[in-house]
Amino acid sequence: MSKNWSSTLRLPKSTLPPRPLPTQHKEYIKKCADDFYKWQAANRPADDTFLLHDGPPYANGSLHAGHALNKILKDIIIRTKVQQGQRVTYIPGWDCHGLPIELKAVSTEQGKTMTPHAIRQAARDLASKTVLEQMDSFRTYAVMSDWENRWTTMDMAFEINQLRLFQKLVSRGLIYRKFKPVYWSPSSGTALAEAELEYNESHISKSAYVRFPITKDSAAIPGLEGFTGNLYAVIWTTTPWTLPANRAIAVHDDLLYHVVRVGEDAYLVAEGGLERVAKVLLGEEETPEILATVPGSQLTQLQYINPLQGKAAAPQPFIHGHFVTPDSGSGLVHCAPGHGFDDYLICKDLGIPVSAPVDNDGIFTEEAYPDDPSRLKGIPVLEGGSAAVLELFKDNVLNVHKYRHKYPYDWRTKKPIIIRATAQWFADVDNIKELALKALEEVKFVPESGRSRLEAFVKGRSEWCISRQRAWGVPIPALYDANGDAVMTEKTIEHIISVIQERGTDAWWSDDAHDPAWIPASLQGKSPFTRGRDTMDVWFDSGSSWTQTDRQADVYLEGSDQHRGWFQSSLLTRVAAMAVQGPTPDGTTNAVGLSPFKTLITHGFTLDKAGKKMSKSLGNIISADQVMDGSLLPPLKVKNKDRDPNAPPPKDALGPDALRLWVASSDYTSDIVLGEPVLKTIHQSLTKYRTIIKMLTGSMEQSARTTPLTALDHIALVQLKDTMAEVERHYKNYEFNKAFSSLNRWIANDLSAFYLEALKDRLYCADGGGVLEPIFMGFLRMLAPITPVLVEEAWEHRPVWMKEDPSIRHPLHQLYNSPLIDSSRLSYDEAVLRKDIPVLMETHAAIKAASELARRGKVLGSSLGCSVVINAPKDSKALSVLQKYKDELDAMFVVSSVDLGGAIEGEPAWKYVQDFEMGGQGCQAWVLPPKDHKCPRCWRFVAPAEDSLCVRCEDVVGEGVQ
């Protein structure tokens, strides 16, 4: 009977568990995140730093997978920078002001009966609690940061910095107050910026064709000299509720307009809109009778009556409008300068007054219908307002219909907004736009498409409405006199800041309205002044966060929606505050860089497995915890007979590294899918990593540091070197998914299928040599930015001899490109070896292909159960290369013997061949039965007789290797 030789083998012995133990996550995270951040801050050079400035998440509710995507991407970046030898600064921040927090802390109805100070306290308490909860969650992702020095936009220091920034913009004449149309949210009770809108593509409006009677000089139109009927202007509107604010009708000077007879009356219609309007006026069948055709320029001498203006109302003008086209409606446009941006601009230039008879709640005021205010007063314009207005128009309504179109909504309340003229504070963007665009020329964008997107938002903006009518925010430091006129200068702001520093921001609301302490001495006694109640747009809050740092950030990274949000507000505030007014001697605008960021990185949104955007309404939001605890995957199959049959099956929980690897493996520059199929692939990769690490930690021998290196070892080192360089390049380019792919390709093709497979015989049965230690270290360096918890765990389970050697540094502390092996041990010329490797790999592939044919023929199991003959032309490069390594080919190809160029003797029991080409010359790899007997210890077919050891194993066993 054969002897059991297993006790003589060097089988792997590792303490690494097959799966991560959740009970140890906290300990490993502390080491690889919190402790590591402190270590690098103390040990990386102070003169080579990297600053990633945090785009503050909103302190409103629990985190989801999108938050994890954002924070982990940032963490991967700073970890790669530490590997490259830099000291990183990453201080987390939170956006804490604004309407969502205020509404969550205090309901709309509650807020109406509460003081601003009480509202602010409730909002502050909620935000403070949420910041701590979110921070605890972020830390479970193994995100490293200076958590203790976190900042929030509600910190006193932050608010003072923000007010100082605002003061600088005031001193430069970039802040002004104006009564003009703004986006207004009745559901929020405040003005909104463009960045706070989202668009509903399926909004339905009550639209109408309405006529206005023309009152003057209609006879002056050629062709109407003898016309005695009524002449009307036809307009089409999707917002009939704005008709009370109508102050003009716009035509285009260069368009032609028809006068169309309908019974005894006539109607003005643009030539290009005649077909549409004729169906409204005459029905489908009748052909319109055209009395006259005139250019639009001739219509501007006409006037008309708006019936809603009251019996004493003066006639209103026709005006030229550059925006008028015949493509929709009648080609005549109703202008309400209090409810439209184009309307406002064109009427402002002509001195036409602005009216907007709608209050903060979106309800008509009594000015909407002077003849009988009760008919419209108190009606919400978006809920019955249009119907009520059309009822007042009576016979002047020609047609009413539903119209589906794109319409702006409040992104917070998900309800439609209106455009409404109010007195608001604005920042002048027009004056700094070119400087902002110039600053972007020096910025690197990832992906590059982000450049045109951000530039388009900047180009399309002329001013920024920065005032909000809410209590929870940073006050706009304006004082108002008895007439309601604002006073706000650099000196008055300086005084207000000094009082805030003494009393706190809340005192702006809680102090008595007439407290003289807020009034600077220069204004004392001139007029009774009161403090304003407007707060700053939260985008101005977060956009001021660059003031938290003393230099330009190396990277800003956020979602692609921030091109119109935080990226833009940060850029505009920095340019406005820091731009040199006029060119410097070297012809540039600013020597230090006007942009707050050197590199701007954007990521997409998270999608469910069906490719749908995650949202609360769809109920498909996935939390990061679900990824980490394995609840999105099928439960594990457990074979333990002692397990309680009533207990729920254990989850396939791989912890924070599963979450992190999902992020690293995804192309974040577009939207990212998260679901069971993706996570199964991620878990397979993580399991493969653990398997390799377990094998490495169980097989590394201290003696391997002094054993001679084989050609196989040198090839493995070259492959490792190339892969590390490729992975590093992808890390530097922020292409983490490509780094992940390169790493996995090396594991599958070079490490597992080639080197480790070939090395097993030497590891288990011979001298235990090889280059496992350099591979272990190189592997962990590549993993360190993406799976730091696994790296920490692998380090914890390294062999005892490594733990006892203080010269071996923690892989997280190592520089990425520091040597992995003493160069004096390398005996092969790398340049020559690189030329030879393709021949060896091509031959290896051919042998594997032929072996697979033998397996299909059911004559071969293990590859050791065959011998190989390589036929190649005598003068071929292939044969020349293979001859150089002939003594190692059997071990390298994991077969029992390799013959080069020899003939196949006799007629073997079986044979299989694979043809292949090298350098244009044909070669063959023959797989044949083995020549000798199977060694019962190493299983190679190189023993002289059945059940006897091979020569090598005899020597090893004789040396007493256990």
pLDDT tens track for 227-248: 788 899 999 999 999 999 999 9
Residue with the bigger pLDDT between 632 and 244: it is 244
The two tokens of residue 91 are 């201080």
Residue 792 burial (C-beta neighbours within 10 Å; 0-12, 13-18, 19+) = buried
Measured CA to CA, the distance from residue 392 to residue 565 in angstroms comes to 42
Judged by phi (left if over 0) then psi (alpha if -120 to 50, else beta), residue 758 lies in: alpha
- Residue 584 has a pLDDT of 45
d(CA 21, CA 624): 18
Q: What local confidence, expressed as pLDDT, does residue 244 receive?
A: 94
pLDDT digits (tens, 9 = 90+) for 796-836: 999 999 999 999 999 999 999 999 999 999 999 999 999 99
Neighbouring C-beta atoms of residue 311, cutoff 10 Å: 8
Cβ 225 vs Cβ 219: under 8 Å: yes
- Other Cβ atoms closer than 10 A to 459: 14
Q: How do strand 231-237 and strand 197-216 relate by DSSP bridges?
A: antiparallel
Spatial separation of the C-alpha atoms in residues 906 and 902, rounded to whole Å = 12
Check residues 413 and 858 and name the one with the higher pLDDT: 858
Q: How far apart are CA 139 and CA 30, in angstroms?
A: 9
Q: How far apart are CA 102 and CA 678, in angstroms?
A: 38
d(CA 681, CA 220): 79
What's the chain's Rg over C-alpha atoms?
38
Structure tokens that stand for 200 in this block:
């509903």
Could you report the per-residue pLDDT of 440-452, keeping only the tens digit for each? 999 999 999 999 9
Q: How far apart are CA 424 and CA 784, in angstroms?
A: 51
Dihedral angle of Cα 732, 737, 741, 747, to the nearest 10 degrees: 80
pLDDT 10s digits, 742-790: 999 999 999 999 999 999 988 888 888 899 999 999 999 999 999 999 9
Give residue 809's pLDDT: 95
Q: Are 55 and 557 in contact (CB under 8 A)?
A: yes
In three-state secondary structure terms, 408 is: strand
Residue 429's CB: how many other CB atoms inside 10 A? 20
Checking 842-846 for CB contacts under 8 A at 24+ apart, the result is 842/878, 842/916, 842/918, 843/870, 843/878, 843/882, 843/893, 843/916, 843/918, 843/923, 843/925, 844/754, 844/892, 844/893, 845/916, 846/914, 846/915, 846/916, 846/923, 846/924, 846/925
Residue 398 pLDDT greater than 70, yes or no: yes
* Tokens at 670, concatenated: 């577009």
Q: Give the pLDDT band (50/70/90) at residue 737.
A: very high
Q: What is the DSSP string of 455-507?
A: HHHHHT-SEEE-EE--SSSPBP--EE-TTS-EE--HHHHHHHHHHHHHH-TTH
826: left (phi over 0), alpha (psi -120 to 50) or beta: beta
Per-residue pLDDT of 94-112, as tens digits, reads: 999 988 899 888 876 676 7
Q: pLDDT higher for 17 or 616? A: 17
In angstroms, the CA 111 to CA 471 distance is 10
Report pLDDT digits (tens) over 129-180. 999 999 999 999 999 999 999 999 999 999 999 999 999 999 999 999 999 9
How far apart are alpha carbons 909 and 904 in whole angstroms?
12
Residue among 379, 335, 327, 381 at smallest CA distance from 355: 335
Distant-in-sequence, close-in-space partners of 845: CB < 8 Å, separation ≥ 6: 916
Angle in degrees, 0-180, between the axes of helices 22-29 and 788-796, rounded to the nearest 10: 100
Q: Is the dihedral of CA 953, 957, 961, 962 positive or negative?
A: positive
When pLDDT is cut at 50, 70 and 90, the band that residue 52 belongs to is very high
- Greater confidence (586 vs 740) lies with 740
Residue 206 CB coordination number (10 Å): 19
The H or E element that residue 39 is part of is helix 36-43
| Per-residue pLDDT at 99 | 85
Q: Which helix (H) or strand (E) holds 708?
A: none
Q: Give me the count of residues in the chain.
A: 962
Place of tokens 């043809």: 915
Cβ atoms of residues 146 and 133 within 8 Å:
no
Q: What percent of the chain has pLDDT over 70?
A: 96
- Read off the pLDDT of residues 744-756 as tens digits, 9 standing for 90 and up: 999 999 999 999 9
Tokens read off for 511 = 């102090």
Helix (H) or strand (E) holding 837: helix 830-856
Q: Do the beta carbons of residue 184 and residue 356 sit within 8 Å? A: no
Q: How far apart are CA 232 and CA 218, in angstroms?
A: 10
Tell me the per-residue pLDDT of 561-602, one tens digit each, with 9 for 90 and over: 899 899 999 999 999 998 755 444 444 434 346 899 999 999
Mean pLDDT of 209-237: 83
Q: Which two tokens stand for residue 139?
A: 């830390």
pLDDT at res. 588: 40
**What integer pLDDT is reported at residue 589 of this predicted model?**
38
pLDDT at 642 over 70: no
Pick the closest to residue 55 from 786, 576, 560 (CA basis): 560
What average pLDDT does the chain have? Answer: 91
DSSP string for 933-960:
BPPTTT--S-BSSTT---HHHHHHHHTT
pLDDT at 600: 97
- The pLDDT tens digits for 272-323 are 888 888 888 888 778 888 988 999 998 988 999 999 988 878 899 999 999 9
Q: Is 229 within 8 Å of 266 (Cβ atoms)?
A: yes
pTM (global) more than 0.85: yes
Integer Cα distance of 509 and 867 in angstroms: 90
Helix 656-665, helix 788-796: angle, nearest 10: 130
DSSP 577: H
How far apart are the C-alpha atoms of 145 and 728, rounded to whole Å? 22
Residue-wise pLDDT for 596-631, tens only, equals 999 999 999 999 888 888 876 678 888 899 889 888
For residue 962, pLDDT over 50 is answered with no
pLDDT at 516: 92
pLDDT of residue 856: 94
pLDDT category at 435 given cuts 50, 70, 90 is very high
How does strand 316-320 pair with strand 248-251?
A: parallel
Nearest to 218 by CA among 257, 182, 246, 185: 257
Other residues' Cβ atoms within 10 Å of the Cβ of residue 772: 24
pLDDT confidence of 660, banded at 50, 70, 90? very high
Helical (H) or strand (E) element with 196: none
Give which of 690, 563, 681 is closest to 633, Cα–Cα: 681
- What is the structure's pLDDT at 740? 97
Q: Is the pLDDT of residue 961 over 50?
A: no
Distance CA 467, CA 190 (A): 9
**Tokens of residue 396, six digits:** 């002047």
Those residues whose C-beta lies under 8 Å from the C-beta of residue 613, and which sit 6 or more positions away, are: 605, 606, 607, 671
Mean pLDDT of 346-352: 90
What pLDDT is stored for residue 486 in this prediction?
Answer: 93
